[in-house]
Every structure is written in structure tokens, then in C-alpha cells.
Amino acid sequence: MDFRGRVFLAPLTKGGNLPFRRLCLRHGCTTTMSEMAYSYQVVRRSKTELALLRKHAEETCFGVQIAASKAPDAIAAGLAAVERGASWIDINCGCPIHDVVRRGMGAVLLQRPAHLGRLVAEMVKALPVPVTVKIRLGWSEDDKNASDVARIAEESGAAAIAVHGRTREQRYSRAADWEWVARIASERSVPVIGNGDILTWYEAEDLWQKSGCASIMIGRGPLMKPWLFREIADKQAWEPTAEERVAVYRQLAMFMKEHFRDDAKGRERAMRFLPWHFEFFCRYRPLPAAQWREAAKAHPLMQTRMEAGEGLSVLEQLLRDPREEVHGKIAGELWDSVDDCDAVARLTAVAAAFPPVSGEAGEVATAHG
């Protein structure tokens, strides 16, 4: 496993489900990661947690991320993931959620670097695949210790370090700090994977080059436009029409049908995920690259980069609609559609039933801030 020269799909709880990862593979992604699995739940053989370790045959370079605080659990979970085809195991050291940190996992590991070092070392000793860590810059603005954490991780045997350029306290309230990411990349000899706010191919290129990172990782970008991987590889934007986007979204529904099964139970399970994806899909804006570049400079936070659209088709307006009930309706029609044309016809009918509320649909607050 070479951690250099790659564009990683970030670990994304709920979003990084297997059908979505397949969709990313279709659009140029080569390196996927699982949703975060709780190691203690894997040890208890929890069905939902074990399901998170599963990979699709098309995923040839697949890393499993675990949340862990104790080495025996981490090793057992790591071995279960390796049995199921994981190419490497990543330890989550950035999850800010209270329930995770109070159990000694996620971002709290940043506050206990020596403990993290021992955890990494024991995993490296026991597992037959590389072990990586995904960190934030620190717990808070006053406690940015990513440099020390990264050094300890490397000295303990971590094969690569992914750095999300924010602190635990920041959540998504500020732009990712790539100067810090660059600093860590310059200090370490293991590959550093830069992460945070990459939404376009040219940001990927700029930040990758300027930071000196070995690789980059993208999360919300592909959640909004799964074709971002292809754009980065081709150094060129793809600005799909509403109809072309319907085909992409329908592909996800079809992958969900294969994964969850094409029956009432499968539909019910898929509907826990498919409508959720539209929270992100609805933020896509087909802006020309030059304009987008300006907008990105003016508003480094991606959730503020929304432009008003005029003269939009009803289908385009529907795809930008932020309402949950609309997302549920879109998901149901995609599931029931027989082909892409049928999906477009069905969604055009939905658009008539759900006219936009006022102004431009799509003024969504960030969901994961």
C-alpha cells in the first residue's frame, strides 16, 4: 500500500456507505475508506458494526477506520477488517462528538498523545496491514498540538497521517488551515494526507502542491458531487445538466437496490440513506470554473459558496431544493424508476407538486457544523 499520490475518499459516517463508495469509484475514485466503526462494537460482533467493515469487490484499495481507546479492541477490530479485505486500518483521532470523546475515542486521543502512541505501536505489531491515524490540528485554538501528535504517531509506526486542518472545537466554523497541514507535511517523513475544504479540481491542485502533502483526502466535495475525483484527475470541471445529475443520483439508487435488495425491506433500509444524500446533492451549483474560483476566494467556507440562480428549469430547482420532504420524494421516485428517462419524467412531475418556497431553493445551513 503506497500512501503517496492518492486522492482518498474521506471516512464519512452514514455518507460513506458501500453504494455511495461504488458511485465514487464510477467517477474516478480509486481509494476508498469505510465509515467509522466502533472497535468495542466489532468485538461484540454487532451486526451493524460488522456491516461497516464490508467492502465491494470493485474496491481494490479500501481502508477501514475504527474508533478505539484500547489496544486489544483495536487489534481485534483491525483483524476483523483485514479478514474482510481491508488494505489498511485507520484510527480516528478527530471525531468531535461528545459521546465518542467521553469514551476515550476520537479527538480526545489528541489530548493523550502518549496513549495514542502506545495504541498505534501495539496495533502495528499485531496487524498484518499498515496502520494510519487521522487527526485534527488539536483540541482547541489554544491547544494545537498536531505537530507533536504526528511525530509520536510516526515514531510509533504509523504508515501515514491524515490531517484535517481544523481543531476539535472549530467543527466547520472556519476554513481549514492548510498552512498547518503544510507544516506537518514538512516535519514528517511518512506520507501526510491533507484534508479540508477541497471542492474543486483547482483547489485540489493548489493545496496539494503548496502544502507538499503526499496525498489529499476529500469528503464533503464528493458528497455534493461524486464526480470530483474525475475532475481532479482530468484537471477539468464537469458541469452536468440536471438530467445528467439525475442519472448519477439514480445510479446510487440502483447500487442501493443491489446492496439492500430490491424488496420492501430493502427499500425501507435504503430510504435511511438515499434521502440523506440529497442534503448534500442539493448544494451542487454548476458555476463556471472562473466564477467559482472567485467565489471560493471570497468565501473560503464551502457552505457559503452558494450563488443565486435565475431562469432555472423546474428540474434544476427541484435538485436544489433543501427540504427534507422533497428529498424523500426524490429518493422514492429514483428507486421506483425503470431507467434514466423515466426518472427525469418522474422528478419533473415531483417538481410540479413541490414548487420552490421563496427565492432560490438551496439556502441550506451546513448540516455538520
Using DSSP's 3-state secondary structure scheme, residue 362 falls into coil
164 sits near ligand FMN (criterion: CB under 6 A): yes
Among 7, 12, 184, 351, binds ligand FMN (CB under 6 A): 12
65 sits near ligand FMN (criterion: CB under 6 A): yes
Which residues are known to be catalytic? 95
CB within 8 A of 64, min separation 6: which ones? Answer: 33, 34, 37, 52, 53, 78, 81, 84, 86, 88, 89, 90
Q: State which residue, 214 or 350, has the beta carbon closest to ligand FMN.
A: 214
Using DSSP's 3-state secondary structure scheme, residue 67 falls into strand
CB within 8 A of 252, min separation 6: which ones? Answer: 19, 20, 23, 226, 274, 277, 334
Among 127, 198, 213, 344, binds ligand FMN (CB under 6 A): 198
Which stretch, 68-76, 150-158, 192-200, 337-345, contacts ligand FMN (CB under 6 A)? 192-200
Give the pairing of strands 37-38 and 32-33: unpaired
Q: What single string gives the DSSP state of each residue in 201-258?
A: HHHHHHHHHHHT-SEEEESHHHHH-TTHHHHHHHTS-----HHHHHHHHHHHHHHHHH
Element (H, E) at 160: strand 160-167
| Residue 369 beta carbon to ligand FMN: minimum distance, rounded to whole angstroms | 9
Among 28, 94, 130, 356, binds ligand FMN (CB under 6 A): 94
Nearest residue to 301 via CA among 210, 206, 369, 216: 369
Which residues in 204-223 contact ligand FMN (CB under 6 A)?
Answer: 218-221
Grid coordinates standing for 55?
467492502
Residue type, 317: Q
Among 195, 211, 251, 337, binds ligand FMN (CB under 6 A): 195
Among 197, 203, 231, 321, binds ligand FMN (CB under 6 A): 197
Q: State which residue, 36 or 137, has the beta carbon closest to ligand FMN.
A: 36
Q: State which residue, 133 or 330, has the beta carbon closest to ligand FMN.
A: 133
| Residue 366 beta carbon to ligand FMN: minimum distance, rounded to whole angstroms | 9
What residues pair up with 136 in beta bridges, in sequence order?
164
225 sits near ligand FMN (criterion: CB under 6 A): no
Q: State which residue, 324 or 339, has the beta carbon closest to ligand FMN.
A: 324
- Under a CB-based contact definition with an 8 Å cutoff, are residues 66 and 36 in contact? yes
Which stretch, 80-88, 147-155, 189-197, 342-350, contacts ligand FMN (CB under 6 A)? 189-197
CB within 8 A of 83, min separation 6: which ones? Answer: none
Applying CB under 6 A, what is the total number of residues that bind ligand FMN?
Answer: 23
31 sits near ligand FMN (criterion: CB under 6 A): no
15 sits near ligand FMN (criterion: CB under 6 A): yes
Number of neighbours of residue 216 by Cβ within 10 angstroms: 25
Among 7, 10, 43, 108, binds ligand FMN (CB under 6 A): 10
CA atoms within 13 A on the CB side of 157: 16
Q: State which residue, 92 or 317, has the beta carbon closest to ligand FMN.
A: 92
| Binding stretches for ligand FMN (CB under 6 A) | 10-15, 35-36, 65, 92, 94-95, 134, 164, 195-198, 218-221, 368
